[in-house]
Structures are given as structure tokens and as C-alpha cells.
Amino acid sequence: MIRSHILVCTGTGCSSSDSPKIIAEFEEQLSLQGMENEAKVIKTGCFGLCALGPIVTVYPEGACYVHVTPDDVEEIVSEHIVKGRIVKRLLHRGEVDAAPAASLSDTNFYKHQRRIALRNCGVINPENIEEYIAVDGYSALGRILTEQVPPQKVINDIKASGLRGRGGAGFSTGMKWQFTHDAVSEDGIKYVCCNADEGDPGAFMDRSVLEGDPFSVIEAMTIAGYAVGSHQGYIYVRAEYPIAVQRLNHAIAQAKEYGLLGENIFESGFSFDLELRLGAGAFVCGEETALLTSIEGHRGEPRTRPPFPPNKGLGQRPTLLNNVETYANITWILNNGPEAFASVGTEKSKGTKVFALGGKITNTGLVEIPMGTTLRTVVEDIGGGVPGGKKFKAAQTGGPSGGCIPASLIDTPIDYESLGAIGSMMGSGGLIVMDEDNCMVDIAKFFLEFVVDESCGKCSPCRIGTKRLLELLTKITEGNGEPEDLDTIEELCNHIKASALCGLGQTAPNPVLSTLRHFREEYEAHVYEKRCPAGVCKALIQYIVDPSKCKGCTRCARGCPTGAISGAVRAPHIINQSKCIKCGACMDHCRFDAIYKQ
């Protein structure tokens, strides 16, 4: 009998830090130490604590080992599996002193979380449909099809749950299902599509769901097909997510093998088929009309709405398009009841939201919080705060379409309305934390560069407008900004917002507008004083040697790539500003803190 399960994370994060090698080593060690019939290695999806990966959890004790290397495996097997002694040095530090059976859910990182969309990530093996079935997988679809629950009843449940689109815009999912259900297709064909073209810099929620729990998306799409009257679905996933693509393909094949996808599912007469479409990585293809155009095989460019996809989508047929995370909530709602879902969250934003925490934060990783949780809880409690004793400055949500939340608004509850009110947006779930070393003008410029690169070029406000906007910001960061530039920027932003064709263009100025709104003094410092307060914009900073601290050790001069530092041994050195390229190497080399930026 298998008495121990060894769960190894095989999400993208942990895979890139050698989890496949760890799995191979476990298998070898288990057989070497004669444990292969007592312990089993299981691949899982993301546990969320990506900063501490690769992560290995051993049950029944529930011991969570972090930063595991292939060299640690022998010890885990011989100590933990054979002798039952937990290897304390590898435990997640949050539970070192805890009893062996202490649950991971008691750690600060998990305590404030509520896992609905991620309920199976890190719990089941995403490549085994039977494990998904064991956690109530396919019971929603089975019940609906065998009891012939009317499609309208399914849609009513989704409406009653209050679920809103997790792609970022927050449109009511139930309404979308209703529109697609009500739309008339001349030849009877309708489609159900899934937007897995996650393109925001720093966002990896959808990828983790697909890698850790692909069946929940597939089951939800099948249910959606039944509800809106469609027999064909497409998942549009980016080709840059090889593990997600491989698991999806595997999951679709397994679902077909078990008769849970294809013809006559549960002998109900209902048939549904699913195919993948790989995106080539254009950001604009995450926009719904561009995505559908791309599935059709055309160049991924958006078109004007209306007509909206529920009326005229893929191939001019009514099409339901939801985001991965939205689908991941569906079966939970149907199994636990819409009331249970609606009891989580705030009045207008129900349920939970997954965020990919990144940037200047201790616990980089994947978190799922009830709507209405404050940004402070996410950053300080779950995220473990800003590392290195630095001060929290702002958080960026919504990627290139979103905005910044300054430290003064850290107690803002995270929901669609509150974030919108302060000029940011929920977005798909990227949450980038910034500290005092980040220049907000530079951040705005970074996101704008991204948009300029990714603009499809179809409409001029986006193609030309964002380019001009970027030029203005570049001018400011190079120290050539003039006072009237700030007004021009604001005016241009508002024009782009009002006139761009698709959501990508309309939201592109958001990072600029929100930083201008909350950090105007930083822009003004660049323009009026030609100074970058955070010390990031190279044209506006100088490295200077403090003669009272310099011992004349010559380390900086030897480390300078351009020979800009001169001075005799044991005499204070001087940086020649005309030769200096502001790489900061001297500051790193100095042992006496004698070099500073200004």
C-alpha cells in the first residue's frame, strides 16, 4: 500500500529550477531504498510560493520542503520516508517550529488566502483525470447532463453567483452566457472559446491554472457549451506556455478517452469537442475581437464593437469567450451553490481573485484572495513586505492597461470598483510591487514601450499616439522636459483613451495617467529640477566620490569600465562626469560607502 505521497511542483517556475531532475532523483532513491511500494511521487501544479521553489510536499505529514535541490532528495527519502523524521532544515521557515502535521494553510502566506480558482493547484496531479474526478471533478457536468438540468437554470446559477470576468474588464459572466444563449445562429453553430493569451508583463495566473488544473477549465467549457448551445470549443493559448499547452493536450486526450469530451457525453445526447489554437505571442490577441480573428486564421487585429462576440464572434457565429480564471470558478459555483460563491467578496465584486505577485516583494508567487482584501494585507501579510528594509512606494495592477496604487492608498480594498475609482484597474491579475528605488516616470515609460511594441497598428490613436507619448516621456527622463510637456501628455492621453479602436489602445495611457495623478511631484522634479528622485534615470544622476570617506584604495578606478575615475593611491578619487556612463560599478566596488548618487 502506498502510505506516503510526495508532491513535486511542476509549474513553470519550479520546472525551471530543476523540478524534473528532482522527480527523477526521487524515483531512483525510492527504488534504491526499497520504498517504491510505499511512497509515490506525484507531479502537481503551482503551490503559489514560487519564490521558494522548487517545492516538495510530503503527505500524510503535509511537510512542505522549499528550495529543494536534487542533492537533498536522498536525505528526504532516507530520513523522512524511511525513518519518518522530517528534514527540518528544508522546511518552509513559517513552520519550522510547528508540529509535523501542521498544515501549510496556517502560514502567513496561505492564512489570508481563499483558494477557489486555484483549489486543485498543487493538490492534484494535472496529468491524471482520475485525481481530478476524486476531488469532485466532472460531478457538475455529470449531474447537469444526466438530470437534463435546463440550460437556463445553469445560466441562472452563474448569474446568481455574481461572477464577473476575470480577464480584467469585469463584465458579468452570467450575462455573457445569457447573451450567447439568446443569440440566434442561422446555421445553428455557436462556439465556446477560452482566452488563455495571458500577455501582461509579470502575470502568470492563467498559466498556473492551466498547468495545475487543466480539467477544471475543460469541464467548465463543456458546461458552457451545454448552457449556450454550442458543440465546439477553442482554447486560445500562447505558444510561449509549452507546459500549459502540453498538459492541455494531454488533458483533452484523456477527457476524450474517458468519454467526457466528444460525442454523446454521459449518454445524454450532448456532444462537445475542444481544440487548442496557439497564439504567436502578440499582446493584442488577448483583446477579444483580435483573438477571434486570430483563431479564424487571420492577422490578429481587433475590430469595432458592436457587434459583440455573443452575437457575432468566431466566423460570424455567436461566441462565448471567457478567461481561464473565469472558467476555473464555474464548477466550484455549480458544486457549492451560487450563494456560497456570492458570500465571498464585496457587494459588487463576488468571489476571489488570483494575483501574480512580483517585483520588490519577499514572497513572489501566486495568491488568491477574497475580493475586498486590502492591498496592505496582500503586500505586507501574504507577500511578506518589501525586502531589504526598503519602503513600499506603489503597486501596479492591470499591467499595461492598469495603473499604480500609491503607498498612501495601501488600505484600498481590492475589487473592481475601488481600483477603478483610484485610476487603476483590476486587470487580469499581475501585481507588481515597487519600492523607493523605482522611478515612476521610468515605470510609465516601461509600460508605454511595451504598448508601442505591441500596438497592432490598425488605428492611428494607438499607433501614432502612444509613440508620441513615449517620445515625450523619453524627453523628460533624459532631462529635456519642458513644463508644457506635462499638459501635452495629459491631453494626448485623454485623446487616445477616447479614440482608440480597442481596449488595448483605450487603456494604454493608464499607466501614464495614474502615475501623473499620484506622483506628479516626481514628474515635476524631472522637468523643473532636472532631477530623478529615485536615482534611476541615467541622464539625471551623477555618481560622486565623497572625499571625506574615500581612502584612495583604487578599487573603484580599477572597476570602472570607461576609465572615468582618477586619483593617486591613498588620496580621494574623482569621477570625470564626461566619461562616466553611470553604470554604478564604482558604487558596487567601493568598500567604504564613499560613492553616492545624486
List residues binding other proteins (CB under 8 A). 1-5, 7, 38, 59-62, 82-85, 101, 103-105, 123-124, 130-131, 133-136, 138-139, 142-143, 146, 258-260, 266-267
Q: How many CA atoms does the CB half-sphere of 536 hold within 13 Å? A: 22
CB of 147 to other proteins, least distance (A): 9
Listed in sequence order, the residues at least 6 apart from 36 whose beta carbon sits closer than 8 Å to its beta carbon are: 27, 30
Kindly state the DSSP code that residue 298 receives in the 8-state scheme.
Answer: S
Cα–Cα nearest to 385, from 419, 352, 357: 357
CB of 222 to other proteins, least distance (A): 13
CB of 247 to other proteins, least distance (A): 19
Minimum CB distance to other proteins smaller for 267 or for 487: 267
Beta strands 365-370 and 352-359 are: antiparallel
Measured between alpha carbons, how far is 82 from 66 in angstroms, rounded to an integer?
A: 20
The SS3 call for residue 476 is helix
Beta strands 63-65 and 56-59 are: antiparallel
Minimum CB distance to other proteins smaller for 260 or for 527: 260
CB of 140 to other proteins, least distance (A): 11
Minimum CB distance to other proteins smaller for 61 or for 524: 61
Measured between alpha carbons, how far is 424 from 429 in angstroms, rounded to an integer?
A: 12
Minimum CB distance to other proteins smaller for 3 or for 153: 3
Measured between alpha carbons, how far is 64 from 52 in angstroms, rounded to an integer?
A: 11
Backbone φ and ψ for 406, nearest 5 degrees, come out as -75, 165
Minimum CB distance to other proteins smaller for 2 or for 253: 2
Measured between alpha carbons, how far is 468 from 570 in angstroms, rounded to an integer?
A: 50
Minimum CB distance to other proteins smaller for 76 or for 575: 76
Minimum CB distance to other proteins smaller for 256 or for 458: 256
CB of 79 to other proteins, least distance (A): 10
CB of 102 to other proteins, least distance (A): 8
CB of 219 to other proteins, least distance (A): 12
Minimum CB distance to other proteins smaller for 263 or for 453: 263
Minimum CB distance to other proteins smaller for 124 or for 414: 124
Beta strands per DSSP E along 167-231: 191-196
CB 300 within 8 A of CB 109: no
Q: Is 507 exposed, middle or buried (0-12, 13-18, 19+ CB in 10 A)?
A: buried
CB of 322 to other proteins, least distance (A): 25
Measured between alpha carbons, how far is 598 from 587 in angstroms, rounded to an integer?
A: 12
Measured between alpha carbons, how far is 185 from 313 in angstroms, rounded to an integer?
A: 11
Kindly state the DSSP code that residue 164 receives in the 8-state scheme.
Answer: B
Within 10 Å of residue 520's Cβ, how many Cβ atoms?
12
Measured between alpha carbons, how far is 177 from 159 in angstroms, rounded to an integer?
A: 9
Return the biggest CA–CA distance within the chain: 89
Three-class SS of 203-246: CCHHHHHHHHCHHHHHHHHHHHHHHHCCCEEEEEEECCCHHHHH
Q: Is 157 exposed, middle or buried (0-12, 13-18, 19+ CB in 10 A)?
A: buried
Measured between alpha carbons, how far is 432 from 195 in angstroms, rounded to an integer?
A: 22
Measured between alpha carbons, how far is 6 from 301 in angstroms, rounded to an integer?
A: 46
Minimum CB distance to other proteins smaller for 4 or for 316: 4
Minimum CB distance to other proteins smaller for 104 or for 121: 104
Minimum CB distance to other proteins smaller for 38 or for 524: 38
CB of 90 to other proteins, least distance (A): 18
CB of 129 to other proteins, least distance (A): 9
CB of 101 to other proteins, least distance (A): 6
CB 142 within 8 A of CB 415: no
The owner of cell 509549474 is 11
CB of 89 to other proteins, least distance (A): 17
